[in-house]
Amino acid sequence: MVSFETASSMVHLNTKDAVLIIATSGLIAHWAFRRWEPMHLRPIAFLLVGLPAILSILTVRQYGVTFSAWLAFTIYFSFMGASIIGYRLSPLHPLACHPGPVIAKASAFWMAWVASRGKRHIYLEQLHKKYGDVVRIGPNELSIRDASAIFPLMGSSGMPKGPGMVGRVQHQQSSLITCQDPIEHARRRRPWNRAFNTHSLKEYQPIITRRAAQLVDALQSQSGNVDLAQWISFFTVAVIYEHVPWLSFYTRHLPYIGKDLVELRSMAYQRTASRYQNGSSTKDLFFFLSNEDNAEKVSPSRDIVLADGILAVVAGSDTTATTLSNIFFSLLSYPETYKRLQAEVDCYYPRGENALDPRYYVHMSYLDAIMNESMRLYPAVPSGSLRAPLRGSGGKAFGKHFIPEGTQTRISIRAVHRDPRNFSNPIMFWPDRWLIAEGLLPPPLGPFVHNPNAFIPFSFGPSNCVGKNLAILEMRMVICSFMQKFEMRFADGWDRAHWQNNLEDLFVTGMGQLPVVLTRRD
């Protein structure tokens, strides 16, 4: 075997030629990353460590091992970095025509940093106000505020999940929400659809009823201030990696990095594994995911069932909890709205009647208006989920815009919901807008704008929230039961601004405390 010293002695290059070779290699490395987008450790390690280490041999005779290594790595990364940033900011880049912050165009780590602070939804809304409907928020990422883009990008003929969703996979098997293959997604979605159809919801109703009653009973025994958001999260339960998905492949193996996320997913994995091993005692979600209804010719593997089970534990609980908490925050912020809803609940469920019986929910138009208005102002996934053109499709066009391959996009749901072109007085909590739109109230004087196609709190298309109907049933049960059983108000001295300041965009919305005083109505 040829030693390092022997190899270095065989190379006869002057410093100028050596520097030229190292610099050119850095440019070639950028081309390789752009061309193949490697994710596996070996090619990445070779391009980032192995190749510059080998190239350091070129100057060992002149400068020695240590300085030659420093020189090779410095030149290599300087030219590779300059090439990367130069290309991303140049007119040659496929997204060069779209406006956005220069720092975001240059590096995906900028949006990763924004996301880590929990205020990405507000930042995106500000960018759209400054730059318009289509904003470049990363080297290969666009945020869109145009409601007319919802159907072509997210509908039946739209785009599958974007590559950033891969970054949310913290285990070997991807779940339904991260599946990018449309055919595989449709196949994986079928048991979920059976699990949440109208017939299946009737099977779940006794379970939800018991849980809602348990929540009310527990709160009736409390005294003093109660953190309502925390109690609601008891009833129901990685965002940086969306922008730099490759990072998740390595941080998941490092101690103390993403420790809370790892622990949460570990808990979810243990629960789902136990549930899978014990089998179904009722026709719940796992009954369908495990193909115990024998609807699929081929049963899914254990890994697929566990991955989708983890998704159900983590995603399904957070969205319902945050939405319910935002609804109660809105109700308590507007006493007249609170009293109107309470009157509607008392009409259909007077004291002594079971407010957890869903038979009258469909007639409660003001309840639906309040839920819709709260979800419009505070969508559970405010920045939207990622979409990207299929590889080999050539890209996707909508309106006057074109999305090239290799670009991931997101419909910024919060920005769309708060766009005055879609809703009159978009920042105002105004439940009556939904009654006006349905013809249940007369229209106001002056122009009235209400675009129902721009209202997508449960996402849209083949990848929309499969548990929408279950979530709506849960929310109706909890709201009606609370309004019947309790009088509620904010805790003395608590500033409402704290709630909105503490809302965080962590894929789903994170919450702070919601301190309230509960008084039993009986």
Residues 176 and 85 occupy one common structural domain: no
pTM: 0.88
Domain termination residue (choose one: 72, 89, 106):
89
Is 120 part of any domain?
Answer: no
**pLDDT computed for residue 164 by the predictor:** 75
Is 431 part of any domain?
Answer: no
CB 367 within 8 A of CB 345: yes
Residues 347 and 477 occupy one common structural domain: yes
**Contacts of range 464-471, beta carbons closer than 8 Å, 24 or more positions apart:** 465/319, 466/176, 466/189, 466/192, 466/193, 466/195, 466/196, 467/196, 467/312, 467/316, 468/196, 469/196, 469/198, 469/201, 470/196, 470/201, 470/204, 470/208, 471/316, 471/319, 471/320, 471/323
Domain termination residue (choose one: 59, 89, 119):
89
Strand partners of residue 136:
142
Residues 77 and 178 occupy one common structural domain: no
Q: Which residues contact 288 (CB under 8 A, 6 or more apart)?
A: 191, 192, 194, 195, 200, 295
108 CA to centre of own chain:
17
Residues 83 and 230 occupy one common structural domain: no
The region that residue 160 occupies, defined by phi over 0 for left and psi between -120 and 50 for alpha, beta otherwise, is beta
Residues 270 and 375 occupy one common structural domain: yes
CA angle 276, 282, 283 (to 5 degrees): 90
The CA distance from 388 to 404, in Å, is 9
Q: Which of 401, 384, 409, 466 is nearest to 160 (CA)?
A: 409
Is 64 part of any domain?
Answer: yes
Q: Which of 48, 69, 46 is nearest to 57 (CA)?
A: 69
Q: List the pLDDT tens digit at each of the 522 positions of the chain.
A: 455 555 555 556 789 999 999 999 999 999 999 988 887 889 999 999 999 999 999 999 899 999 999 999 999 999 999 999 999 999 999 999 999 999 999 999 999 999 989 899 999 999 999 999 999 999 999 999 999 999 999 999 999 988 877 655 555 567 888 888 899 999 999 999 998 898 888 888 888 899 899 999 999 888 779 999 988 887 754 655 565 555 555 555 555 555 555 666 676 677 777 877 877 777 888 888 888 888 998 888 888 888 887 777 666 667 888 899 999 999 999 999 999 999 999 999 998 899 999 999 999 999 999 999 999 999 999 999 899 999 889 999 999 999 999 999 999 999 999 999 999 999 999 999 999 999 999 999 889 999 999 999 999 999 998 889 989 999 999 999 999 999 999 999 999 999 999 988 876 667 889 999 999 997
Domain termination residue (choose one: 89, 116, 149):
89
Residues 314 and 187 occupy one common structural domain: yes
How many beta carbons lie within 10 A of that of residue 155, not counting itself?
13
Q: Which domain holds residue 55?
A: 4-89
Residues 209 and 351 occupy one common structural domain: yes
Residues 67 and 201 occupy one common structural domain: no
**pLDDT computed for residue 262 by the predictor:** 63
Q: Which two tokens stand for residue 245?
A: 């998905």
The CA distance from 271 to 292, in Å, is 19
| Amino acid letter for position 304 | I
CB 331 within 8 A of CB 337: yes
Is 141 part of any domain?
Answer: no
Residues 367 and 484 occupy one common structural domain: yes
| SS3 assignment for 221-251 | CCCCEEEHHHHHHHHHCCHHHHCCHHHHHHH
Question: What ranges in 4-149 are assigned the alpha helix state H?
Answer: 4-10, 15-36, 41-45, 51-55, 60-89, 102-106, 109-116, 120-131
Q: Which two tokens stand for residue 18?
A: 């050596």
Residues 261 and 375 occupy one common structural domain: yes
Indicate the angle between helix axes 335-348 and 468-485, nearest 10 degrees.
90
**pLDDT computed for residue 237 by the predictor:** 42
Edge-to-edge strands of the sheet including 408-411? 134-138, 141-144, 408-411, 386-387
CB 251 within 8 A of CB 116: no
Burial code (b: 16+ CB inside 10 Å, e: under 16) for 391-416 equals eeeeebebeebebeebbbbbbbbbbb
**pLDDT computed for residue 166 by the predictor:** 65
**pLDDT computed for residue 269 by the predictor:** 72
210 CA to centre of own chain:
30
Is 349 part of any domain?
Answer: yes
Residues 55 and 176 occupy one common structural domain: no
R_g over Cα of the chain: 27
The CA distance from 213 to 189, in Å, is 31
The CA distance from 396 to 390, in Å, is 9
| SS3 assignment for 271-309 | HHHHHHHHCCCCCCHHHHHCCCCCCCCCCCCHHHHHHHH
Q: Which residues contact 490 (CB under 8 A, 6 or more apart)?
A: 332, 496, 515, 516, 517
| Amino acid letter for position 512 | G
Q: Which two tokens stand for residue 17?
A: 């030629």
- Alpha carbon distance, N-terminus to C-terminus of the chain: 88
Q: How far is CA 123 from CA 23, 78, 94, 135, 373, in A?
A: 37, 31, 24, 12, 22
How many beta carbons lie within 10 A of that of residue 204, not counting itself?
19
The CA distance from 30 to 37, in Å, is 10
* 267: CATH: 1.10.630.10
Is 221 part of any domain?
Answer: yes
Residues 174 and 84 occupy one common structural domain: no
Is 127 part of any domain?
Answer: no
CA angle 357, 361, 367 (to 5 degrees): 130
Is 128 part of any domain?
Answer: no
Helix, coil or strand: residue 390: coil
Domain count, the chain: 2
**pLDDT computed for residue 327 by the predictor:** 97
